[in-house]
Amino acid sequence: MKKLLIILLCLFVISVLAALGAAVGAYKYFSRDLPRIATMKDYRPALVSQVFSEDGQLIGEFFVERRYPVDLSAVAPVMIDAILAAEDDRFFEHQGISLWSIVRAAFANLRSREIRQGGSTITQQVVKSLLLTPERSYTRKIKEAILATRIEQSLAKEDILTLYLNQIYFGRGAYGVEAAARVFFDKPASALNLVEASYLAALPKAPSFYSRLDRARERQHYVLQRMAELDRISPEQLAQALATDPQFRKAQNVTLSAAPHFVEFVRRELEKTYGADVLYKEGLRVETTLNLERQRAADAAVALGMENYETRQKKADAEGRVQAALVSLDPYSGSIFAMVGGRDYHESQFNRAVQAKRQPGSSFKPIIYAAALDKGYTAASIIVDSPVVFEAGSLRRRTFWEPQNYDRKFMGPITLRKALTLSRNVVTVKILQDIGIDYALGYARALGLDGDYTHGLSLALGSCGVSLINLVKAYGAFCAEGVYAEPVAITRIVNRDGVEIARNRPKLVSALSPQTAYIMTTLLQSVVEEGTGKKVRALNRPCAGKTGTTNDVRDAWFIGYTPDVVTGVWVGFDDLRPLGRSETGAVAAAPIWLDFMQKVYTDEPVRSFRIPDGLVFERINPKTGYAPQSKSEPAIFECFKEGTQPIRFIPAPLTTVFAN
């Protein structure tokens, strides 16, 4: 008997040792190539990149996983209680795995004849989400258990719970509790109440299954009952919560609300510079130049302009509706204050302010006139507005072009100022022929005006393709004493760690002299005071600008500026249909510009354009361009660069005139 006991004892010891050996061997086997727990301390999930206006208001978000990381202190305590009741009520007691939870879940599932509870702890779910693949196998479950115990030894319980709350998926594209609170209830996680928290706690188990409200409500009731069983809520709170429906509030898509074309413009710039992974996953904070108040004014002005156009033309086609674009810049820094790329971003994401290249018509003429001022012309130069025919082609195939003025009339000799004020086509063509097409094209490019140019005299009438934002930039040089600023949308970028990775400073280019720029400003002021831009005189402050209308009235423009803002407006159809009779730049585009600028200057003091050194003001006869020879002659003050003012003619004495 004693011998048998010894044998049995030996067998028991051997069995225990074998089991231990097997366990150790299994542990070593399944521990091979397991992810390092250290990576948990460097948890860097995909985060939302956010775009802000100049005053810090959120205007756009870019993401693959909508997630906003938060600390436990930023989560409502009732939300933490609800999650623990739903997923792991012994979380603060176990060491990564819970045999009790497994047994309890098994019995609960047997009673309900369906899988209502899981045996995985929150720590195991963190492991599955962050370190392992989602495959269903015993091997993965064993690895999951090993890693869970290791994590418990490496991280504090609060850190594990924080990881979980920031990582889990709730459905509707919401990753983490903060995103879920915003997506479902349009509030932060810190403001969730019992009904909302219990509803959200019901979702992570199977977000797609519980996307149906009836299923989610059933699971929510289970969560509430578990909270009551665990004494996390009182019977009265339970009864009230069971009788209360969640009040869902769909969060507004900020990317599509405030300034969608501008935000898309920013997105393209970010993706081009940093790549898609950084943009959509690295939680950038992007600070921009957008002025929300001016953006709202721009949206309203464009909407009203489109409504007025359709009233005038008595048409409002659902398809192929008339479009408009607006860009407003700071001429000294290039900061984009407002951008409208079309009348409705939901209908069309095409940004007509940036992506479209359309013929500018007469709004291109100031480029030609500025080039002429630097080629020997003055504002008082006389050019004859008369018929002219240009011949082109070869001997076998000759072509002729006879440019016409808009009114089909000719005014004879007129000053350069009057020619631009009244937008005389023939005079502009003659000036271009004199200064040279190549010179004018070089001048345009020096102003930063990249376009699709044709090498012909029709360039004088804007027969090229330019973008609105580029033309606005060029006009900015007239305002800013000859210096244009590249348009800037982004001022500063900060990464997820709070480190500044980019700060954009104005990129300034000196394109023409301050004297030429100021004379151009005075010429464009005449356009507003006496010419095709008279409608914007209602701004009641110094401003300069030019209308533009293309052949068959397919494009209508107005580009104008005050001493501190330059704004451009374009109106047209995407399919190049004519806008209709009389829909010139003065009729279709200028009123939108005026409406916007009036809102910009609601309470702003009046400023005048600064006069640079090197200029003189002389009296001239506006009919001859020379100094008046008598007091009876008409006379105006004209602006000249020093040394270019006209010669003063002194009448000869009468005795000399009548001498033999």
Residues tagged active-site? 87, 362
CA distance linking residue 595 with residue 600, whole number of Å: 9
CA-CA-CA-CA dihedral for 454, 455, 457, 458, to nearest 10 = -10
CA distance linking residue 128 with residue 458, whole number of Å: 69
What is residue 412's three-state secondary structure? strand
Write the burial class of residue 188 (CB in 10 Å: 0-12 exposed, 13-18 middle, 19+ buried): middle
CA distance linking residue 56 with residue 68, whole number of Å: 17
Contacts (Cβ under 8 Å, ≥6 apart) of 578: 552, 553, 554
SS (H, E, C) 312-362: HHCCCCCCCCCEEEEEEECCCCCEEEEEECCCCCCCCCCCCCCCCCECCHH
Which long-range CB contacts under 8 A does 221-229 form with residues at least 24 apart?
A: 222/86, 222/116, 223/82, 223/85, 223/86, 223/198, 224/194, 224/198, 226/85, 226/86, 226/89, 227/81, 227/82, 227/85, 227/198
Are the C-beta atoms of residues 185 and 196 closer than 8 Å to each other? yes
DSSP at 159 = H
Tokens in use for 302? 């464009």
Count H helices, E strands: the chain?
Answer: 22, 20
* Bridge partners for 547 per DSSP: 558
CA distance linking residue 456 with residue 391, whole number of Å: 11
CA distance linking residue 369 with residue 400, whole number of Å: 25
Closest CA to 120 of 651, 143, 111, 112: 143
* Bridge partners for 329 per DSSP: 336, 566
Closest CA to 78 of 200, 229, 215, 211: 200
Q: Which amino acid is at 294?
A: R
CA distance linking residue 541 with residue 546, whole number of Å: 16
> What is the C-alpha R_g of the chain?
37
The b/e string for 347-358 (b: 16+ C-beta within 10 A; e otherwise) is eeebbbbbbbbb
Cα–Cα separations (whole angstroms), residue 444 to 452, 456, 512, 631: 12, 14, 11, 41
CA distance linking residue 50 with residue 279, whole number of Å: 9
Tokens in use for 373? 């001022």
Cα–Cα separations (whole angstroms), residue 575 to 345, 418, 579: 17, 35, 11
The b/e string for 59-90 (b: 16+ C-beta within 10 A; e otherwise) is bbebbebbbbbbeeeebbebbbbbbbbbbbbe
